[in-house]
Structures are given as C-alpha cells and as structure tokens.
Amino acid sequence: LKDAALQTRFQSEQLEVADSVAAIELFFERGWTDGLPIVPPTPEAVEEMLEYAGHEPGTHLGSVPERRRDVTVEKVAVNAVMAGCLPAFLPVVLTAVEAILEPRFSLVGPSSNTAGAAVLIVVNGPVARQLGLNSKDNLFGPGNRANATIGRAVRLTMINAMGTAPGVFDQSCMGHPGKYTYCIAENEADSPWEPLHVDRGLHPEDSAVTVYAAQAMYQSNDRFHSDPESLLTSIALSMAAVSSFLAEAQPEMAVVVGYEHMQALGDSGWTRRQIKDFLFAQARSDLTSLKQVGKLPGATEPGDEARFKGVIDHADDILLVAAGGVAGRYTDIIPGWPGARSRSVTRAIGQCDECHV
C-alpha cells in the first residue's frame, strides 16, 4: 500500500517520531514494553506482517470480558513487530493469542494472580521446522529468534492489548523470567512418541500451538537410572517435590523429557500412555509433608505420613513433551497455575474453530 492508504488502513493511533531510537524511548516512556527495547511498529512493518498472514487488521480474535478488552489482528501484529517477529511468525502468534482467549484457558486468573504464571507455548508440526524453532540445546533460551520473539509477542500483546501490564491487572508477587518469553518446539524428529498435538487429538501433519499457564521450570537431573520404572519414579518424585512448592496439588503439570531421558525411555518401548499412567500413579505427596510446607492446614496427625494426595487428578493432566539438549540427563518439571480454573489449550494453526482441542 502507498503511504496515503497506510494512514487510513489501521484503527490504531499513529504517533510521529524523529527516528527509531526516539520511537524506542517513547515506548519506554508510555509503559508499552516489557522493559526491553522494541522494534518500532511502523505501518509499513505491520502491513508486511498482515500481507504475509493474509489477514485484515480489523479481524476480531477474541475478548477478555472481565477487562473489557477486544483483541484484533491489528494489535497482535503491532505487538509482534515490536517483539522482533518475522512476518512468517505471525500465524503462530495469532493462534497462541486465540488459544489464551478461549474461555477454558481462563486468562484472567493466571495473568493477574499473585502466583504469577506465564504462558508456556509449545509449537508442534511442520511449522516448527519451517520457522526454525528450537527444540534442542538451550531449550528455554536464549539464542533463537523464533522462540524468543514469538513468546515475547504473546506477552507484549497481553501487556498492551489485554490489560496485563505489571501493576495494572498483573499482580504477580514474584513473577518469573518466562514472563518475558516462554516458547519451545517439541523435538518430534527424535521423539519415540507421537507428538503432543497428536496426543491431544490433531493430525501429525497439522501445525499446532499448545498454551499452558505455567510457573517456572525446574530441572530434574537423574544420571544413573535408565530402566523405565526407576527413571520415571525419579521424575515422579521430582514432580511431587516441585508441586509441593506451590500447592497441595496441580491442575496440570508439564514434563519436558530431555534427549537422554527420552532415549532411555524410548529404548524401553514404553508408550506415552504408559509413561503418563505411571507418573500419575507415582507422583503423590504424603499429608505430613503437605502440612509441613503449609499447603494443607492443621497440625500433623499420626498416620498422615501414610496418607497420600496425588499431584494431579488424571493421567491426561500431564503434558508430556519431548525436547531439550542432546547432552545431559535432564527432564524439566513445569507446574501449572495452582488455581484450578485454567486448562491448557491445543489449537491448530490457520484452521477453523472446530479444529482445536
């Protein structure tokens, strides 16, 4: 589009600045960043993104009714430019935004609550490979543009277009670094299991985004066990320990199995189903421990040490993801937002409303 057309193309206010550095400073002054410099969202850059994705700026993506915010493609594209996204990343960002706006994700809880969850984004399918998303070394960063800027674009959209600015509706006590960016791909090529999005009802050839209201990740290192029972018992003990940091139980829990653990479990022939069932059965905390760490009220009573509470309610509340660096025997445990009213959402990229699960 020519300059004149770009002036009327967007609903957003257009601000005149001397140059890019002035734009960066203006955005700092207005509180429109995550604390890092942004790429100036010029009408030309935003238009380039929209053209790539084939979207009209006014398309409505969803709402945050409690905060009276309606979210359009235009605002997501503006924030994606700011985050440093390439135009090719926009479909992933748009799908992640649509996913967190689904009522069952219940965005207001995890994004405002003192517990301070971030949005973990897991990308599956061909798009992850096409965009060069990292699923291996240094999984949670830094260093990869797609991972870093897709996660950041979702966060900037939350801050600017959904009222989730710190100190406004984001009342997190501690926060965590995943609130800058928190985006990974699954290592489908090396995984012994079907991909996460297939486990959740989509097809292998679909590209998909899974969003999960997530606390920080905790590395569980097991150097010695390779047989599945011993290794999974070790992971289940880590799940119970990590869970007890936050609450008496978890609505969901992500378990990101690193490469060497993945290989050991793959060699055993255990399926995704078997692994989730085993972890579900083994990940539990005794009532004495839960009372001692202040997750259950009251004094400890005789017998509490032999009474147990499961970390999760169902085996399918585990999001099992195969990803991580090729060296090192690690599995990451990522607890969810302890308020029970947020459920992870998997959504196919660039498809109809009926295609999400």
Partner 1 sequence: MYVLNPTTAPTAARFVAAERVRPLRGARLGLLDNGKHNSNKLLDHLCDVLAEEHALSKVHRARKPSPFAPAPETLLAELADSCDVVITAVGD
> Which residues contribute to the site for partner 1 (CB under 8 A)?
10, 12-20, 23, 26-27, 32, 40-43, 46, 65-72, 74-75, 78-79, 82, 106, 108-109, 112-113, 156, 160-163, 339, 341
Tell me whether residue 70 or residue 316 sits nearer to partner 1 (CB atom): 70
Tell me whether residue 106 or residue 144 sits nearer to partner 1 (CB atom): 106
Give exposure, 235-258, as e/b (b: 16+ Cβ within 10 Å). bbebbbbbbbebbbbbbbbbbbbb
Q: How far apart are the first and last CA of the chain?
A: 37
Tell me whether residue 19 or residue 353 sits nearer to partner 1 (CB atom): 19
Tell me whether residue 17 or residue 88 sits nearer to partner 1 (CB atom): 17
CB 104 within 8 A of CB 293: no
What angle (nearest 5°) sits at the alpha carbon of residue 248, between those of residues 247 and 252?
Answer: 75
Closest-CA residue to 327 (of 265, 242, 258): 258
Tell me whether residue 169 or residue 280 sits nearer to partner 1 (CB atom): 169
Sign of CA dihedral 304, 305, 311, 314: negative
Tell me whether residue 71 or residue 311 sits nearer to partner 1 (CB atom): 71
We find the least distance from the C-beta atom of residue 65 to partner 1, in angstroms, to be 7
Closest-CA residue to 289 (of 266, 308, 274): 308
We find the least distance from the C-beta atom of residue 228 to partner 1, in angstroms, to be 38
Q: Check residue 53 and give left, alpha or beta (phi > 0: left; psi -120 to 50: alpha).
A: alpha
DSSP string of 24-71? HHHHHHHT-SSSS------HHHHHHHHHHHT--TT-EEEEEGGGTEEE
Measured between alpha carbons, how far is residue 78 from residues 73, 110, 156 in Å?
9, 24, 10
We find the least distance from the C-beta atom of residue 25 to partner 1, in angstroms, to be 12
CB 278 within 8 A of CB 232: yes
We find the least distance from the C-beta atom of residue 76 to partner 1, in angstroms, to be 10
Classify burial at 159, counting beta carbons within 10 Å of its beta carbon; exposed 0-12, middle 13-18, buried 19 or more: buried
We find the least distance from the C-beta atom of residue 244 to partner 1, in angstroms, to be 20
We find the least distance from the C-beta atom of residue 91 to partner 1, in angstroms, to be 19
In whole angstroms, give the CA distance from residue 268 to residue 225: 12
In whole angstroms, give the CA distance from residue 330 to residue 74: 40
We find the least distance from the C-beta atom of residue 15 to partner 1, in angstroms, to be 5
The token duo for 93 is 């960002």
We find the least distance from the C-beta atom of residue 238 to partner 1, in angstroms, to be 29
Non-local CB neighbours of 353 within 8 Å, separated by 6+ positions: none
We find the least distance from the C-beta atom of residue 44 to partner 1, in angstroms, to be 9
Reduced to 3 states (helix: H, G, I; strand: E, B; else coil), residue 250 is coil
Tell me whether residue 108 or residue 196 sits nearer to partner 1 (CB atom): 108
